[in-house]
Amino acid sequence: MKFVIQRVTGASVSVEGVTIGAIENGYMVLIGIGKDDTTKEADRLIDKMIKMRIFDDENDKINLSLEDVGGSLLLISQFTLYADCRKGNRPSFTNAAPPAEAERLYEYIIAKCKERVPNVQKGSFGADMKVELTNSGPFTIVLDSDIFL
């Protein structure tokens, strides 16, 4: 499982010109789910993401978590995080979870995040989405369960 976390001052996602999710201060997170991923990986990455201290405190030190600043989440499914580009010029996605399993885990992640974060917005699984964001910093962190767990 992979989370690409971008600290943002604003982010939104739209489908066919209609905004379906938008946040201000918080994280826009691209979520890739691998074929062997389970709720165990999801729980560990969610906990790490929410507790991660990458917001500035009163002394301009990155010392505050999403919870500390009352930040929001915009969660976007992104199977292309599992692109394998080692052979040829066309990426292979065989390491990504099958769509039904990926959607189940994506919805699980959303539900678990909603238990801890007051404002959780999401994209539309499998849709052609347009994502806009203002990356604050810029600050981007990649959590990968193959490395982290």
Q: Which domains does the chain have, with CATH numbers?
A: 2-139 (3.50.80.10)
94 catalytic residue (yes or no): no
80 catalytic residue (yes or no): yes
Q: Are 112 and 43 in contact (CB under 8 A)?
A: yes
Distance linking the first and last C-alpha atoms of the chain: 10
79 catalytic residue (yes or no): yes
pLDDT at residue 149 greater than cutoff 70: no
Q: What is the DSSP letter of 149?
A: -
Q: What is the pLDDT of residues 55-88, one digit of tens each?
A: 999 999 999 999 999 999 999 999 999 999 999 9
Tokens of 61: 């030190």
Q: What is the pLDDT of residues 21-36, one digit of tens each?
A: 999 999 999 999 999 9
141 forms bridges with which residues in the sheet? 5
Contacts of 96 (CB under 8 A, 6+ apart): 32, 33, 34, 35, 79, 81, 82, 102
Q: Report the mean per-residue pLDDT for the chain.
A: 96
Q: Exactly one of 3, 6, 55, 78 is catalytic; which is it? A: 78
Q: How confident is the model at residue 146 (pLDDT cuts 50, 70, 90)?
A: confident
Mean pLDDT of 37-52: 97
Mean pLDDT of 142-147: 92
Phi/psi region, residue 126 (left: phi>0; alpha: psi -120 to 50; beta: rest), is left
